[in-house]
A and B are shown apart, each in its own frame.
Chain A
Amino acid sequence: MSNTLLTPTETAHLIGAGKSLLLAGEEQLLASLPPGNWIGGTIPYFMAGQGGCFCQDKIFVTEIPQATQAIARTYSPAELPTIYDQAADSDVSFVILPADSAAHTEFALNAPRYRNFAASPLLGWIAGVDLKELGRMSPKVFCGSPKPLTDAAAVLHMKLPAGCLAQINIINLFVPGQGEVLVFPKGGFSATTVRVNGKEQNFAEYLTAKKADTRLPLVANYCGAMVNVSIKSVDVTNRRVEFYAPVVTETEYRLAAPVTDYVKEFETRLKTLPSGELVFSCNCILNYLYSQLEGRRTGNVVGPITFGEIAYQLLNQTLVYLTVEKAA
């Protein structure tokens, strides 16, 4: 019973049976669960077996079948810089952070500079809310109990059997377009100034003059991995652009080329998945919205729809998945 939508009663039964679980669902559902070895985050959007759906009465339950041991714990924003040190003894660690919290900001801005960054597999997602409730409800995470947390990371450090290795991967359908090279002299969640092909100008004015489709992210090439930064808003009055993830200073970005049919291109990419068993995945709310994934299936890849994805570091508009491989 893994990677499926279950009722709270069914979920509680699995917790009671001692299973280690990753959960996603509405706050009142997660807050009704018994204590146990689980972490969870709020979100009512999912890619389920029947396709993308909005669901407020079930919990998306992921059980990692290979797990031999799992320890749930929280990290405060101040503790997050040690997360890779703490993950060193685990074979894989899952993390859920509440969107727009200090913990989210801390991880987003600084994870690549944490000691032992990427030395252990760390993946997860950013908890969110029903989009109609934005600004009225706050995203929450849960760590082994029905007490909601608004400003901490919920983490499940997991051991796998000897000879098994966790491999995090991504499917990012966005590639850099043919446009100008964009370099930000200052990193962070917002930008005023950008160098466009080496020439400095205001980024909000650049996007406006270009009539850029801001549903398309900025894309940087990280040694072959395409890493997106999604545009949250363009404030022409204050000449500022806000992002859903930080831009990195002195990194070359381009606006992404358009993706014509997300599902069709996704299905093509699914054929390139590695051979190991796919045990967890999550996809971005912006892909869900912009590509109209509600009611549409993305192969057998299911999981929560999120306000940000984590594959070692924060990502945007990207599907993150985990396979468990046998060591060669």
Chain B
Amino acid sequence: MNLDNIGDHIWGAVIEGTKPISFEFLGLQLLITNLRQRLRTKEITMSVAVNDLKKFLGKYGSLPAAQNDLNKIAR
């Protein structure tokens, strides 16, 4: 899946939790929680968070659990 086909507003909604998804991939679950906490404390901006998330999924998106999660994000 081409991650750039998913708009930044969707990535933002995933990170903020306004697009509720039940994730399967532990690394992704912990990363998104971490990004939310760092956004809340203003350690990072949303664009940094989106980049971090896309970078992570670019690396591990071929794991079956990550693929399932990606499909849920793209839906």
Contacts and interface: CB of A to CB of B under 8 A. Distances in A.
Contact of A313 (B30, B40, B52, B59): B30
Contact of B22 (A117, A224, A311): A224
B67 to A, nearest CB: 6
Nearest to A251: B37
A259 interface: no
B30 A119 contact: no
A274 B68 CA distance: 13
A118 B57 CA distance: 11
Contact of A113 (B17, B38, B40, B62): B38
B37 A112 contact: yes
Interface in B22-49: 22-34, 37-38, 40, 43
B64 to A, nearest CB: 6
Contacts of B59: 119
A313 B34 CA distance: 11
B27 A312 contact: yes
Contacts of A227: 30
B54 to A, nearest CB: 12
A57 interface: no
Contact of A118 (B21, B27, B63): B27
Interface string A245-273: 00010110000000000000000000000
A327 B55 contact: no
Contact of A223 (B32, B55, B60, B65): B32
Nearest to A88: B59
B34 A165 contact: no
A297 to B, nearest CB: 24
Interface in A256-307: 274-275
A317 to B, nearest CB: 16
Interface string A192-221: 000000000000000000000000000000
Given A223-B23, A224-B22, A325 B30 contact: no
B29 A222 contact: yes
Contacts of B25: 167
Nearest to A167: B63
A168 B26 CA distance: 7
Contacts of A225: 23, 26, 29-30, 33
A224 B33 CA distance: 10
Interface string A79-105: 000000000000000000000000000
Contacts of B52: 119
Contact of B34 (A112, A275, A325, A327): A112
Nearest to B40: A250
A311 B25 CA distance: 12
B64 A118 contact: no
Contacts of A165: 60, 62-63
B27 A328 contact: no
A36 B60 CA distance: 31
B63 A325 contact: yes
Contacts of A250: 40
A312 B66 CA distance: 16
Chain A to chain B: the 10 pairs with minimum beta-carbon distance, closest first: A225-B29, A222-B33, A327-B62, A223-B29, A118-B31, A224-B23, A223-B32, A328-B62, A112-B34, A224-B22
17 contacts: A112-B30, A112-B37, A113-B43, A118-B31, A118-B34, A167-B25, A167-B63, A170-B26, A222-B33, A224-B22, A224-B24, A227-B30, A248-B37, A311-B26, A327-B62, A327-B63, A328-B62
Given A168-B27, A312-B30, 6 more contacts: A118-B27, A167-B63, A223-B32, A225-B26, A225-B33, A275-B64
